[in-house]
A and B are shown apart, each in its own frame.
Chain A
Amino acid sequence: MIFSRSRNQIIPAIIFLLPGFALFAVFFLGPLLYSLRISFFDWNFAHPERSVWVGFGNYIEQLKSPIFQRAVMNTAAYTMITVTVKMVLGFIVAVLLNQKMRGRTFFRVAYYLPVITSWVIVSLLFTYMFSGQSGLVNYFLNDMLHITDHDIMWLADGVLALVPVVLVDIWKGVGWAAVIFLAGLQSIPVDLNEAASVDGANRWQQLIYITLPLMRGTLVFLLVVLILGGLNAFVPFQLITHGGNPMDQTHSILTLMMRATFSRLDFGSGAAISYMLTVFVFLFSLLQLKLLRKPKGE
């Protein structure tokens, strides 16, 4: 802090902070509080003053609703599967790409391609590949691998429809996890591994006893960001299952929120759903701050 010897820098601070905090107040903090208010009302969008106070009614109604429970299950399963697979595959790719080898840059860019492709595009692409009749995936399963003998109607089944949703997330996300792991791996001093190998540690032992412990920060960071991303999944669910098809079995928490709000104009329930998710995410983030703070004195 170069200015710390002089007095408080209040005026410059205000100038530097003002644009950011003005936006933040109007489009973030304000909405955050407003949403809390809405969640306690049977909200009337056209005439807000006619909204009826229902207390925790919206929350209770949602918690009791089988559709909401199903959406929570879907989101939880989706998060657990995709996060685990992306962490494991991302780490493997990063370790492989961290060696001196030909074509390293090529592989790195290729693996990153899905990451920079937009969610809308990849969701539509997977919808197309998983179409029931003459989709690419059915073709592989039927005619090339002979695992199945009929076309599977992926998108017509309440469980199978989640398969492309999970796979698209993994396909898109491994490259990102790998790049973050790679950055972590490259910040580990080379001489540590060299010293260990002089002492007779093999690559596997170096990985377990040197690399992983030193990557604690990276591991925690990735785990948290990926879990938050999973809980907030929206676009792939919305575009692949059209928000819940068939019969509201395939919602994520947020597609259900959007349906309540904009299809049924039940703003109160929508706000209640998002508040439940937010509180959960918030508590989870506090846990993260605790986990991250520990390894300070490196």
Chain B
Amino acid sequence: MKRSQLFNKIFSYAILLIGLGLVVIPIWYMVSTAFKPQTMIFEMPPKLWPIPSTLNNFVKALTTDKFGLYFWNSAKVALASTLMTVLVSSMLAFAFAKLNFPGKETLFYVLLLGMMVPPVMLIIPQFIVAHTLDLYNNHWGLILVYVTMNISMQTFLLRGVFEDVPKEIEEAALIDGGSPWTIFWRIDLPLSGPGLSVVVINSFLYSWEEYSWANVNIGDALRRTLPIGIALFQSEHLTEWGQVFAASLLALVPVVIIFIIFQRYFVQGISTTGIKG
């Protein structure tokens, strides 16, 4: 028994380490390239760390190539989209989990349609709608579409979360004369931390990295978001990989921060939402 346990342990670590290698090599290659001077971009064999290394790519990315501006644009869009997604979808989820009204089932199924239609397929008509509403070239055009494309899935997840909020607490508040809004705001939301962090991560990641819609809806170079800025930079300067990855690493910073803050809730959060085993 002891022996098989030891074997099992070694075997597990071996597999996990091989996997780790496969995961880390591309990331490492990206990081080291970001510190390479342009002359070393295609040098083989690849070095573990470029000598001499340079911070030039980061400086250039931030100063001459407007990545600083794109970063700011992305931050605005992603923060606004995340806040709105959390608010709007938790309101929807509360209605579907706790309130009683005619046509509830039907409306819920209509909303679930949003999970079944690929976002990219709506780009043509959304483009026309954005034109009509004067949202073309406008960050609100991005924010409103991101919120819309997220609410179906996030409402579905949060409805599961709210259903697990103990009835007794809500009933107590109801007897004390609490309105649905008080119960939503004071009880259901504060008790749903892990579920809400899943929604925060999902919607932040989505709007921070969204490419297809931003690429269509933003024509003005000064309003581009980071994914568009990075992809366009690469297609215009085919070999300047150092700067591409310097900008990419900067783009990753907020994502990693959000992830580190919320990750301890993450697995717990997934199991409290609708997706149970």
Interface residues of A (CB under 8 A from B): 1-4, 8-10, 12-13, 15-17, 19-21, 23-24, 26-32, 34-35, 38, 45, 89, 92-93, 96-97, 99, 101, 107-114, 116-122, 124-129, 131, 133-134, 136, 139, 143, 171, 174-175, 179-180, 182-188, 203, 214-218, 221, 228, 231-232, 234-235, 238-239, 242, 254, 257-258, 261-262, 267, 270-271, 274-275, 277-278, 281-282, 285
**Contact size range, B:** 35 or more
Tally inter-chain residue pairs, CB-CB below 8 A. Answer: 286
Give, as a whole number of angstroms, the nearest-CB distance from B61 to chain A: 13
Q: Assess whether B244 is in contact with A124, with CB atoms less than 8 Å apart.
A: yes
Q: Assess whether B121 is in contact with A30, with CB atoms less than 8 Å apart.
A: no
Nearest residue, chain A, Cβ from B33: A128
Contacts of B43 in A (CB 8 A): 134
5 contacts between A and B (CB under 8 A): A9-B100, A24-B111, A45-B128, A136-B29, A171-B22
B190 at the interface (CB under 8 A from A): no
The 4 closest A-B pairs by CB, nearest first: A274-B121, A118-B209, A31-B125, A184-B277
User: Which residues of B223-277 have CB atoms within 8 Å of chain A's CB atoms?
Assistant: 227, 230-231, 234-235, 241, 244-245, 248, 251-252, 255-256, 259, 263, 266-267, 270-271, 275-277
Given contacts A8-B101, A93-B16, contact A34 B125 (CB under 8 A): yes
* Separation of A28 and B115 alpha carbons in the complex (Å): 11
Q: Assess whether B118 is in contact with A278, with CB atoms less than 8 Å apart.
A: yes
Given contacts A128-B241, A179-B266, A277-B118, contact A35 B101 (CB under 8 A): no
* Separation of A120 and B211 alpha carbons in the complex (Å): 7
Contacts of B101 in A (CB 8 A): 8-10, 13
Contacts of B248 in A (CB 8 A): 121, 124-125
Contacts of A4 in B (CB 8 A): 100
B48 at the interface (CB under 8 A from A): no
Q: Assess whether B179 is in contact with A270, with CB atoms less than 8 Å apart.
A: no
Give, as a whole number of angstroms, the nearest-CB distance from B78 to chain A: 11
* Separation of A228 and B98 alpha carbons in the complex (Å): 30
Q: Assess whether B129 is in contact with A26, with CB atoms less than 8 Å apart.
A: yes
Give, as a whole number of angstroms, the nearest-CB distance from B85 to chain A: 10
Give, as a whole number of angstroms, the nearest-CB distance from B125 to chain A: 3
Give, as a whole number of angstroms, the nearest-CB distance from B267 to chain A: 5
In the complex, which of the residues A16, A239, A257, A262 contacts B121, with contact meaning CB atoms closer than 8 Å? A257
B107 at the interface (CB under 8 A from A): yes
